[in-house]
Amino acid sequence: MDSPDVAFWSDPRMPYVETRKACQSRICYKAHSHATFSIGAVDQGQSRFSSYLHTAVNIESGSIVSIPAYIEHSCNPLPDQAWSYQMMHLSLDWLTQLFEESIADRISSPIPELRPEIIKDPEIYQYFCQLNNMLFDTQRTILEKEQYLVEILNLVIFPSLQLEPLDEKSYLQQHLRDLVDILFQHESFLSLEQLSNQSGISRYAIIRLFKRNFGLTPHAFQLNLRINQARELLKKGKAVVDIAYDLGFTDQSHFHRVFKSLTGVTPRQYQNGF
């Protein structure tokens, strides 16, 4: 990799999990969201976690953070300090097979339905570290890794989560689902005017809907959507310049800048990690 401080693990035989380790990192992220259920752990130092659905708080070594899909958040080192952390991303489709239908529906919904959580339990932290180390271990077979992932998630990690539901938001909720469908179906970025014409609601109402439910503006939501798509294409080896063009970015420089601001690494560093 271009950066010795960040390591990634993923395997096409286990496409439903991606994980990273960062050591003594000073990288800061813009507020962003993932299309996955994410679990993070602080190994050293302190970080400032913030989300529109969670009070901003400092978290220290040994803390676990769960972040449901599509939840706006950021987690950055304190000023002039570095921190070490782990972050695991789990596919929603795969997770639905591990849980009862009532829980699976809330986890896999494209509209946020669960709050982020912070867990401070040394035992759970140790189990998560063991799981991540197993995934990075080149001496372990893919069958061992899959079995341990399922075991730890079911027996330790997810039973410790409260999976607290969000307050019901009835404000134009069906319109929001229609808008999300429109954005997923289009390959290019859409303006507020285009979204308004296709949904039949005002531009201001669209902004309110996205900020109230995602904590992001419609344009920021689209940027996150494209970057999440880019991550998958990079892992498959597609050229960076082609990804930038296919996903509707102005040019490769624009794509590079947005990707790094939301993931902490450049597209090339991310691709080389796999």
Longest dimension (CA), the chain: 56
> Angle 218-235/173-185 helices, nearest 10 degrees?
40
pLDDT score of 171: 57
pLDDT score of 240: 95
Among the listed residues 257, 252, 67, 71, the one whose alpha carbon sits nearest the alpha carbon of residue 163: 67
Question: pLDDT band for position 103 (50/70/90)?
Answer: confident
Helix (H) or strand (E) holding 8: strand 6-11
Distance CA 72, CA 53 (A): 8
97 contact partners, CB below 8 Å, separation of at least 6: 104
Q: Taking 60 as the threshold, does the pLDDT of residue 2 lie above it? A: no
172 contact partners, CB below 8 Å, separation of at least 6: 201, 205, 209
Burial state string for 27-40 with b = 16 or more CB within 10 A and e = fewer than 16: beeebbbbbbbbbb
Q: Taking 50 as the threshold, does the pLDDT of residue 267 lie above it? A: yes
Distance CA 120, CA 201 (A): 43
Q: What is the DSSP letter of 22?
A: E
Q: Taking 70 as the threshold, does the pLDDT of residue 114 lie above it? A: yes
- Domain extent, residue 74, equals 6-160
Considering the domain boundaries, does residue 258 fall inside one?
A: yes
Q: Which of 89-98, 103-112, 200-209, 241-250 has the lowest mean pLDDT?
A: 103-112
Q: Which of 97-101, 118-122, 233-237 has the lowest mean pLDDT?
A: 97-101
Contacts within 8 Å (CB) and 24+ apart, 241-250: 243/267, 246/187, 247/187, 248/187, 248/188, 248/189
pLDDT: is 171 or 112 the higher one? 112
**107 and 185 share one domain:** no
> Angle 192-199/173-185 helices, nearest 10 degrees?
120
Distance CA 75, CA 235 (A): 24
In this prediction, residues 127-131 reach a mean pLDDT of 96
Considering the domain boundaries, does residue 166 fall inside one?
A: no
Tokens of 105: 């529906």
| Number of independent structural domains in the chain | 2
Q: How do residues 156-188 score in pLDDT, each as one tens digit?
A: 888 888 877 776 655 567 888 899 999 999 888
Q: Taking 50 as the threshold, does the pLDDT of residue 1 lie above it? A: no
**186 and 146 share one domain:** no
**209 and 120 share one domain:** no
Q: Taking 80 as the threshold, does the pLDDT of residue 4 lie above it? A: no
Residue 139 sits in a domain of what CATH number?
2.60.120.810
Distance CA 17, CA 165 (A): 24
Question: pLDDT band for position 14 (50/70/90)?
Answer: very high
Could you tell me if residue 255 is left (phi over 0), alpha (psi between -120 and 50 degrees) or otherwise beta? alpha
Q: Which of 1-5, 56-60, 63-67, 264-268 has the lowest mean pLDDT?
A: 1-5
Question: pLDDT band for position 115 (50/70/90)?
Answer: confident
pLDDT score of 64: 95
Tokens of 44: 């050293």
Considering the domain boundaries, does residue 165 fall inside one?
A: no
Residue 230 sits in a domain of what CATH number?
1.10.10.60
**101 and 19 share one domain:** yes
pLDDT score of 27: 86
Considering the domain boundaries, does residue 41 fall inside one?
A: yes
**136 and 227 share one domain:** no
Q: Which of 39-53, 157-171, 224-238 has the lowest mean pLDDT?
A: 157-171
> Contact 28/77 with Cβ under 8 angstroms?
yes
Distance CA 9, CA 137 (A): 9
> Contact 195/218 with Cβ under 8 angstroms?
yes
**129 and 180 share one domain:** no
**152 and 216 share one domain:** no
**10 and 140 share one domain:** yes
**116 and 210 share one domain:** no
Q: What is the DSSP letter of 147?
A: H
